[in-house]
Amino acid sequence: MTRITKSKFLTSAGLLALLCALLSPAVRADGTGLGDLTITLPTISGSAGDTIVVLGTLTNTSPNTLDFANDSVTFNNTAIGGVADVTFNAIFGAGPSSIGGNSTLINVDLFTVFIANDATPGLYDLNSYDILGGTDANCTLDFTLCGVQLGAIEFTVNVQGAVPTPEPGTLMLLASGLLAAVLVIRRAAQ
């Protein structure tokens, strides 16, 4: 009888432990509740030789104020390049250095894309952007204090083909042809 009771007890305790584990909130490895920054980007497109400043939206879904320590942008092809702007702008007071808990920042200068003059038209994908930080207000001044990845996103750059413009010689030829036609019609009318 003791053996059956002990078996039922262990089964009940195991089921109770499983239920507690399933109903408990997720625990993050860093223990700070960070990593809740969502980055939203617009469609990024331009032509060869263009420089594009990418303005995006940052949404903090955690109750913590998140301070920015570092951001980086990585490109998958040498035909495009760029620089990350958030922490650079924050240091010089030209952009935000943090985001409040449960809030959204719109039109934030996230990064700048440089499209090479010889870039061929097409989609350049598998590029990435991320922001590191933490809950320490000194993150911007000393990024070693805050090294948690707050948010990351993959993006594509659409390089469009150049729109052909008529050459000046073509316009000159058209104008002289029209002038000749007017003179012929005028002479015929006299």
- Structure confidence at residue 27 (pLDDT): 34
Q: Flag whether 66 is in a domain.
A: yes
CA atoms within 13 A on the CB side of 128: 6
* Separation of alpha carbons 66 and 97, rounded Å: 9
* Beta bridge partner(s), residue 40: 57
What does DSSP say about strands 51-60 and 37-40: parallel, antiparallel, or unpaired?
A: antiparallel
Q: Which amino acid is at 134?
A: G
pLDDT of residue 8: 61
Query: Residue ranges of the chain with pLDDT lower than 50?
Result: 1, 15-33
Q: Nearest-5° angle of CA 158, CA 151, CA 146?
A: 135
Distances from the Cα of 86 to the Cα of 37, 55, 105, 165, angstroms: 14, 10, 12, 37
Predicted confidence at residue 23, as pLDDT, reads 43
Report yes or no on 111 lying in a domain: yes
* Per-residue confidence (pLDDT) for residue 9, from 0 to 100: 54
What CA–CA distance (Å, rounded) separates 96 from 108?
8
The verdict on residue 170 lying in a domain is no
99/151 Cα distance (integer angstroms): 12
Whether residue 190 lies inside any domain: the answer is: no
Tell me what pLDDT residue 119 has: 94
pLDDT score at 151: 92
Residue 76: which domain range?
37-160
CATH of the domain at 138: 2.60.40.10
Q: Is residue 173 part of a domain?
A: no
Q: Identify whether 150 is part of a domain.
A: yes
- Specify the pTM: 0.67
The total of structural domains in the chain comes to 1
> Could you identify the residue written with the tokens 């719109």?
106
What's the pLDDT score for residue 131? 93
**Residue 83 in domain:** yes
The answer to whether residue 140 is domain-embedded is yes
